[in-house]
C-alpha cells in the first residue's frame, strides 16, 4: 500500500482529465483516441450569445481554441460603447452618436434627457453643462443641448429644463447659470424677465418686484426713483400716481409738508392766488362767511367791521350809521339827524318842526311852543311877538295885521277890524234906510200925479245889531 498525499489542485487536474476521457472521447473510444482526442466538429461548438462575440476561429469551429479541444466559454462580451444584437457574431457594432452602451449590450440606449453623446462608441452620456439643457433623449452634442433662453437659467448639470428668472431678477443673455437682480429703482413684475424696466414717473419701487403708485399727497417726477416725495408748501397731489404736484387752487392753501392736501381757507380769510402757503385775512371793512373763497366781501351799507378776519359785519348802534359799503367804523348821526335803534338803516333827518343839537342822536325834540325851528339842526328861535308858534313849528306864523292879531296859538280878528266892519255895516244900513225913505216919498208924489208905481215893498229889512260878514 502506498500513501498518496495530493493537494486539492492535483485532484482537480485529475478530475479534468477524467472528464476529458469520459465526455470528449466517444464511446467507441480506442486507446489511440484517448491519447489523441478527436477534432471538434461544428456541432460541438457553443454559440456566442447576443452581446458577445468570438473572433478566434479554429478548424470547423469558431469557438474552439486549439485542435481537439472545445472550450464553451470562449465568447467575449461586447465592450461598453459597442453592442451586438445577434448571436454567433465575430464582432460588435459601435454605438452611434446619441447612444451609449454598457459592456455586453445587445443594443445601445439613447442618452436620457439632460445629457448627450457626441461621439460614436460612447460608454456614457455627458450631462448638459450649467446654462444648457436637453429636453429630449438621444442628443448627439453640445449644439443639441440648447442654451437656456434669455430670462431663464440653469445652475446645475443634467438639466432637462431651465428655470425662470424670479420676480425682481432678469437675464439678458442665453446660456446663463444665474439671474441678475434688477438695479434699485428698476423692476421686473413677472418671471422670465430679459430686462428690468424703470418705474415711470408717479410710481416707485421698493423691492424691484413691482411698481407702486405714489400715494395721495406725494409725487415722483423722476422715473426710477426709489421713493415718492411729499409735495412742498403750496402744492398737493390729489390722486394716486402723480408725477408732479399741482398748486393749491385759489381759496386753498398748504403751509407745510405735513398735510397731504391743500386746506380750504376758513371764514374770515381768503386765498386770492394759486400755490398759496397761507390764506390772507379779510381786511377791516370786509368779511367772508364761507370757506375756500377767493375774495372777501365788502361790508354792505349799514354794517361795519373794525378788525381783520371778520366772518360777519356788525350793524351800527343807535345814533350811528354806516353809509356806503366797506365801512370800518360807524359814523355818528350828524346834528339834526337821528337813528332810533341798532340796525342797518341810515340816520334820518328830524322832521319839520323837530330838531336836535347833538351828534349821535337817537331821537329829535319837538320845537317848543312860542318857538319855531327853521331847520333840523337849528336852535329854536323865539317866536316874534305878533306871530304864533305852536309846538312843532318850523316857522313863525304871522297874523295879517292889522285885521288879525295873534292870540295864544291862533290868529284872531283884531278889535279894530271888528269895529271897522261894524262901522261899515252901520253906514250901509243908514244909507239904505235913507235911500228907501227918499224912494218912498218920491213914489207917493208920483201916485198923486197918477204915475204908476212899482213894488211898494221895502228893499231892505233893517236890523238892530251889526252884521258880521264872514271871514
Ligand atoms: C485532427 O486534425 C489534424 C489536423 O487537422 C489531423 O492531422 C488529424 O488526423 C485529425 N485527427 C483525426 C482523428 O481526424
Ligand atoms: C479579436 O478581437 C480582439 C479584441 O477585440 C482583437 O484584439 C484581435 O486582434 C482580434 N483577432 C482577430 C484575428 O481578428
Ligand atoms: C442610436 O441613435 C440614433 C439617433 O439617436 C437612433 O436612431 C438609433 O436607433 C440608436 N441606435 C440604437 C441601437 O439605439
Ligand atoms: C464632445 O463633448 C465633449 C464634452 O463636452 C467635448 O470636450 C468634445 O470636444 C466634444 N467632441 C466633439 C467632436 O464635439
Ligand atoms: C424642448 O425645448 C424646446 C425649446 O425650448 C421646446 O420648443 C420644446 O417644446 C421642448 N420639448 C419638450 C418635449 O419639452
Ligand atoms: C440653484 O438655484 C436655486 C434656485 O435659485 C438655488 O436654490 C440653488 O442653491 C442653486 N444652486 C447652486 C449650486 O447655485
Ligand atoms: C441625469 O438625470 C437623469 C434623469 O433625470 C438621471 O437618471 C441621471 O442619473 C442623471 N445623470 C447625472 C450624471 O446626474
Ligand atoms: C407689471 O407692470 C406693468 C407696468 O406697470 C403693468 O401694466 C402690468 O399689469 C404689471 N403686471 C403684473 C403681473 O403686475
Ligand atoms: C418739503 O418738501 C419740499 C419739496 O418736496 C422739500 O424740498 C423740503 O425739504 C420738504 N421739507 C420737509 C420739512 O420735509
Ligand atoms: C403756480 O405754480 C405753477 C407750477 O409751478 C406755475 O406754473 C404757476 O405760475 C404758479 N402760479 C402762481 C400764481 O404762482
Ligand atoms: C369794534 O367793533 C365792536 C363791535 O362792532 C366794538 O365792540 C369794539 O369796541 C370796536 N373796537 C374798536 C377798536 O373800535
Ligand atoms: C376806526 O376807529 C378806530 C378807533 O376808534 C380808529 O383808530 C381808526 O382810525 C378808525 N378807522 C377809520 C378807517 O376811520
Average pLDDT over residues 35-53: 66
Measured between alpha carbons, how far is 313 from 303 in angstroms, rounded to an integer? 5
Which ligand 12 atom is the nearest neighbour of the CA of 329?
Answer: 1
Q: Is 274 in the pocket of ligand 10 (CB under 6 A)?
A: yes
Q: Is the CB of 211 under 6 A from ligand 8?
A: yes
Contact 297, 318 (CB under 8 A): no
104 CB-side CA count, 13 A = 5
Q: Is 247 in the pocket of ligand 10 (CB under 6 A)?
A: yes
Residues sharing a CB contact under 8 Å with residue 101, sequence separation 6 or more, in sequence order: 78, 80, 81, 82, 83, 95, 107, 108, 109, 122, 123
Ligand of minimum distance to the alpha carbon of 312: 11
Domain range annotation of the chain: 1-33, 39-124, 416-471
257 lines ligand 9 (CB under 6 A): yes
> What tens digit of pLDDT does each residue of 347-370 get?
999 999 999 999 999 999 999 999
Tell me which residue has its CA closest to atom 12 in ligand 8: 189
Beta-bridged to residue 26, according to DSSP, are none
Phi (first) and psi of residue 434, to 5 degrees: -60, -40
Burial of residue 74 (CB within 10 Å: 0-12, 13-18, 19+) is middle
DSSP E strands, 211-369:
212-213, 218-219, 229-230, 235-236, 246-247, 252-253, 263-264, 269-270, 280-281, 286-287, 297-298, 303-304, 314-315, 320-321, 331-332, 337-338, 348-349, 354-355, 365-366
d(CA 389, CA 366): 12
Share of the chain above pLDDT 90, in %: 56
User: Residue 415: phi, psi to the nearest 5?
Assistant: -60, -35
Under CATH, which architecture does the 39-124 domain have?
A: Ribbon (2.10)
Q: Bridge-partner residues for 109, per DSSP? A: 100
CA 366 to CA 360: how far, in whole Å?
Answer: 17
CB 271 within 8 A of CB 250: yes
Burial 299-323 (b: 16+ CB within 10 A, else e): beebbbbeeebbeebbbbebbbbbe
Which ligand is located closest to the Cα atom of residue 111? 3
Q: What angle is formed at CA 85 by the lines to CA 83 and CA 88, rounded to 5 degrees?
A: 100
**Of the candidate ranges 113-122, 140-149, 433-442, 447-456, the one whose mean pLDDT is the lowest:** 447-456
Rounded CA separation 461/149 (Å): 155
Q: What is the pLDDT of residue 243?
A: 93
Kindly report which listed range (51-55, 252-256, 314-318) carries the lowest average pLDDT score. 51-55
Distance of CA 434 from the midpoint of ligand 3 (Å): 186
Query: Among residues 245, 263, 246, which one has the least CA distance to residue 254?
Result: 263
Going from the Cα of 76 to the center of ligand 3, the distance in angstroms, rounded, reads 23
Element (H, E) at 428: helix 415-448
pLDDT higher than threshold 70 for residue 277: yes
**Cα(320)–Cα(200) distance, rounded to whole angstroms?**
66
Task: Examine the pLDDT at 97 and tell me if it is beyond 80.
Answer: yes
Measured from the CB, is residue 19 less than 6 Å from ligand 10? no
For 439: left if phi > 0, alpha if psi spans -120 to 50, otherwise beta; the answer is alpha
Closest ligand, as measured to the CA of 328: 12
**Number of other residues whose CB lies within 10 A of the CB of residue 239:** 10
- pTM of the predicted protein model: 0.56
Rounded CA-CA distance 206/224 in Å is: 10
411 pLDDT above the threshold of 90: no
Question: With bands split at pLDDT 50, 70 and 90, how would you rate the model's confidence at 1?
Answer: very low
Is residue 157 within 8 Å of residue 130, measured between CB atoms?
yes
Q: For a pLDDT cut of 70, what percent of the chain falls above it?
A: 80
pLDDT recorded at residue 313: 97
Ligand 5 near 137 CB (within 6 A): no
User: What mean pLDDT do residues 433-446 have?
Assistant: 86
* Residue 61 pLDDT level (bands cut at 50, 70, 90): very low
Distance (Å) from CA 118 to ligand 4 centroid: 6
Q: Is 38 in the pocket of ligand 1 (CB under 6 A)?
A: yes
Residues at CB less than 6 angstroms from ligand 3 = 96, 98-99, 107-108, 110, 138
The better pLDDT of the pair 75, 218 is held by 218
Amino acid at each position: 500500500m502506498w500513501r498518496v498525499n495530493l493537494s486539492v489542485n492535483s485532484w482537480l487536474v485529475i478530475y479534468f482529465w477524467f472528464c476529458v476521457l469520459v465526455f470528449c472521447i466517444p464511446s467507441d473510444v480506442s486507446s489511440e483516441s484517448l491519447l489523441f482526442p478527436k477534432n471538434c466538429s461544428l456541432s460541438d461548438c457553443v454559440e456566442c450569445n447576443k452581446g458577445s462575440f468570438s473572433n478566434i476561429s479554429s478548424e470547423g469551429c469558431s469557438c474552439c481554441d486549439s485542435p481537439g479541444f472545445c472550450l464553451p466559454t470562449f465568447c467575449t462580451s461586447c465592450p461598453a460603447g459597442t453592442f451586438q444584437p445577434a448571436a454567433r457574431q465575430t464582432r460588435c457594432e459601435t454605438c452611434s452618436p446619441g447612444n451609449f452602451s454598457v459592456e455586453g449590450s445587445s443594443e445601445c440606449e439613447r442618452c436620457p434627457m439632460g445629457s448627450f453623446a457626441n461621439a460614436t462608441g460612447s460608454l456614457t452620456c455627458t450631462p448638459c453643462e450649467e446654462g444648457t439643457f436637453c429636453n429630449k433623449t438621444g442628443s448627439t452634442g453640445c449644439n443639441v443641448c440648447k442654451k437656456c433662453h434669455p430670462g431663464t437659467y440653469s445652475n446645475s448639470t443634467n438639466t432637462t429644463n431651465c428655470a425662470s428668472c424670479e420676480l425682481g431678477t432678469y437675464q439678458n443673455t442665453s446660456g446663463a447659470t444665474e439671474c441678475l437682480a434688477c438695479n434699485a429703482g428698476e423692476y421686473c413684475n413677472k418671471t422670465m424677465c430679459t430686462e428690468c424696466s424703470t418705474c415711470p414717473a408717479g410710481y416707485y419701487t421698493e423691492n424691484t418686484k413691482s411698481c407702486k403708485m405714489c400715494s395721495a399727497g406725494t409725487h415722483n417726477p423722476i422715473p426710477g426713483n426709489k421713493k415718492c416725495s411729499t409735495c412742498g408748501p403750496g402744492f398737493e397731489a390729489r390722486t394716486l400716481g402723480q408725477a408732479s404736484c399741482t398748486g393749491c387752487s385759489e381759496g386753498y392753501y398748504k403751509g407745510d409738508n405735513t398735510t397731504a392736501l391743500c386746506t380750504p381757507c376758513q371764514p374770515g380769510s381768503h386765498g386770492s392766488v394759486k400755490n398759496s402757503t397761507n390764506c390772507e385775512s379779510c381786511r377791516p371793512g370786509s368779511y367772508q362767511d364761507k370757506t375756500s373763497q377767493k375774495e372777501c366781501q365788502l361790508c354792505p351799507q349799514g354794517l361795519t367791521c373794525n378788525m381783520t378776519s371778520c366772518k360777519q359785519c356788525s350793524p351800527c348802534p343807535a345814533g350811528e350809521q354806516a353809509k356806503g359799503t366797506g365801512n370800518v367804523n360807524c359814523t355818528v348821526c350828524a346834528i339834526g339827524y337821528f337813528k332810533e335803534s341798532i340796525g342797518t338803516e341810515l340816520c334820518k333827518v328830524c322832521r319839520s318842526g323837530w330838531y336836535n343839537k347833538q351828534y349821535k342822536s337817537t331821537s329829535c325834540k319837538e320845537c317848543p311852543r312860542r318857538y319855531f325851528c327853521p331847520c333840523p339842526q337849528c336852535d329854536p328861535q323865539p317866536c316874534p311877538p305878533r306871530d304864533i308858534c305852536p309846538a312843532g313849528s318850523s316857522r313863525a306864523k304871522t297874523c295879517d295885521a292889522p285885521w288879525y292879531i295873534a292870540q295864544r296859538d291862533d290868529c284872531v280878528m283884531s278889535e279894530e277890524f271888528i269895529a271897522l266892519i261894524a262901522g261899515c255895516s252901520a253906514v250901509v244900513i243908514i244909507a239904505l234906510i235913507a235911500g228907501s225913505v227918499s224912494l218912498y216919498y218920491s213914489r207917493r208924489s208920483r201916485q198923486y200925479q197918477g204915475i204908476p208905481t212899482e213894488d211898494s215893498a221895502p228893499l231892505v229889512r233893517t236890523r238892530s245889531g251889526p252884521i258880521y260878514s264872514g271871514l
